[in-house]
């Protein structure tokens, strides 16, 4: 038995110490990435299901890129199996930690894709053209990437202008209402009455007052963004502790200093909450506005695909839209963490 008794000092019991070889062996076993093994097997099974099982052909149409998707599934599964052994995990170190944390999703993704593939391309349980298999999306991204790419660019342009205008105006209104009682007396009732109205309810009016549908869409996106930014900024300014102002005035601070160096920095966390809410609200308004008259963008692309009963193009656009909007939210999180980095360590838990 690979162990020995280490003599302790006076009053201490002897300690049983195991040999380093046994510890190394246990550490090596614990480093095996079990989720990676399961995910690799799941991806290989998905690849075999896609590439080997014959498609349920409807009419004279077969699904393109079926074999390519099957080969990709097998390659992904093989790669996951290769990085799962203990010696690879030990040599990879921290670089594989992010991949290890995504293990459950790496396992669930091929299961979902395999079920999707089986119900559409392999059995036809979900009927065409309302449902399409995963490889049909690859066909859209390869053959229609120019139209889809230009739609993404135009959507980003419209969204950037609308959100920028709405955020700036909402921020200025919120600071004014929160700081000045006289301004708040007139603006506060307007925010309470007009703010809760859905921006899309003003579509007929905007198309009448604005010279083009594009400018009307920018106004609607700005309106959807500006209201939550204004309300949360106003709330943040109004909730700043009065002791901050008293200390600053004691040190000789001017009125402008109190606004820009005390009130606004203290209200920034709530300002970013308003930006998150405004950006989320602007997405739905943006798509609706593009569907109603804008001649380009992802909303227009969805309307075009639906008009031609091309549901595969519609699903491809929806996936791009989901990734795009999720990426913008993540980018705003990074901006918030950078801007508010000075607050780290100021709160003691």
349 residues of the chain, pLDDT tens digit each: 444 444 444 344 444 444 444 444 444 444 678 888 999 999 999 999 999 998 887 654 578 899 999 999 999 999 999 888 866 666 666 667 778 888 899 999 999 999 999 999 899 898 877 888 999 999 899 988 999 999 999 999 999 999 999 999 999 999 999 888 888 888 888 888 877 778 877 877 887 788 888 888 899 999 999 999 999 999 899 888 888 888 888 888 888 888 888 889 889 999 999 999 999 989 888 888 887 777 788 888 998 888 888 889 999 999 999 999 999 999 999 999 888 887 765 544 4
For residue 16, which phi and psi values (nearest 5 degrees)?
-95, 120
Dihedral of CA 39/44/47/52: which sign?
Answer: negative
CB atoms within 10 A of CB 11: 5
Q: Where would I find the H helices in 180-307?
A: 181-194, 203-209, 213-238, 242-250, 255-257, 264-292, 298-307
Cα–Cα distance, 75 to 196 (Å, whole number): 51
Global confidence as pTM: 0.78
What does R_g of the chain's alpha carbons equal in angstroms? 29
Model pLDDT, residue 17: 44
**Burial zone of 213 (CB within 10 Å; 0-12 exposed, 13-18 middle, 19+ buried):** middle
21 forms beta bridges with: none
161 near 296, Cβ under 8 Å? no
Model pLDDT, residue 16: 41
DSSP classification of residue 4? E
Which residues are CB-contacts of 6 (< 8 A; sequence separation ≥ 6)?
14, 15, 16, 17
Model pLDDT, residue 87: 64
135 near 69, Cβ under 8 Å? yes
Q: Is 222 helix (H, G, I), strand (E, B) or coil?
A: helix
Locate tokens 């690859």: which residue?
A: 138
DSSP states of 17-28: EE-HHHHHHHHH
**Burial zone of 249 (CB within 10 Å; 0-12 exposed, 13-18 middle, 19+ buried):** middle
Cα–Cα distance, 325 to 155 (Å, whole number): 11
Model pLDDT, residue 50: 94
Please, what is the Cα angle at 224 between 172 and 181, to 5 degrees? 35
Model pLDDT, residue 346: 54
Model pLDDT, residue 68: 93
Cα–Cα distance, 60 to 45 (Å, whole number): 28
What structural domains does the chain harbor?
15-132 (no CATH), 145-343 (1.10.3720.10)
Locate tokens 């999180």: which residue?
A: 333
Longest dimension (CA), the chain: 93
Structure tokens at 345: 């360590």
DSSP states of 30-85: HT--HHHHHHHHHHHHHHHHHHHSPP--BTTB--TTHHHHHHHHHHHHHHHHHT-S
């Amino acid at each position: 038995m690979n162990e020995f008794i280490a003599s302790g000092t006076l009053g201490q019991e002897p300690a049983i110490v195991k040999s380093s070889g046994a510890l190394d062996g246990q550490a090596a076993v614990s480093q095996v990435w079990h989720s990676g093994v399961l995910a690799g097997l799941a991806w290989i099974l998905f690849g075999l299901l896609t590439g080997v099982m014959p498609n349920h052909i409807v009419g004279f149409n077969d699904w393109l890129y079926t074999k390519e998707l099957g080969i990709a599934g097998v390659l992904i599964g093989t790669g996951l199996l290769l990085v799962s052994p203990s010696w690879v995990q030990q040599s990879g170190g921290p670089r594989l930690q992010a991949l290890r944390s995504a293990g459950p999703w790496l396992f669930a993704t091929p299961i979902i894709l395999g079920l999707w593939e089986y119900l559409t391309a392999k059995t036809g349980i979900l009927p065409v053209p309302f449902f399409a298999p995963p490889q049909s999306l690859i066909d859209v991204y390869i053959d229609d990437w120019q139209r889809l790419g230009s739609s993404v660019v135009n959507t980003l342009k419209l969204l950037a202008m609308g959100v920028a205008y709405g955020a700036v105006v909402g921020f200025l209104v919120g600071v004014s209402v929160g700081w000045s009682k006289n301004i708040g007396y007139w603006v506060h009732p307007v925010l309470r009455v007009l703010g809760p109205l859905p921006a899309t309810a003003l579509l007929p009016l905007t198309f009448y007052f604005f010279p083009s549908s594009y400018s009307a869409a920018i106004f609607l996106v700005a309106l959807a963004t500006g209201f939550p930014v204004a309300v949360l900024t106003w709330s943040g300014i109004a909730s700043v502790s009065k002791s901050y102002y008293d200390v600053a005035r004691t040190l000789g601070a001017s009125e402008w200093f109190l606004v820009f160096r005390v009130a606004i920095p203290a209200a920034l966390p709530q300002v970013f909450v308003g930006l998150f809410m405004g950006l989320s609200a602007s997405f739905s308004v943006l798509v609706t506005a593009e569907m109603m008259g804008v001649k380009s963008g992802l909303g227009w692309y969805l309307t075009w695909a639906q008009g031609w009963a091309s549901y595969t193009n519609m699903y491809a656009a929806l996936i791009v839209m989901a990734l795009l909007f999720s990426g913008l939210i993540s980018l705003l999180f990074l901006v918030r963490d950078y801007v508010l980095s000075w607050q780290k360590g100021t709160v003691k838990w």
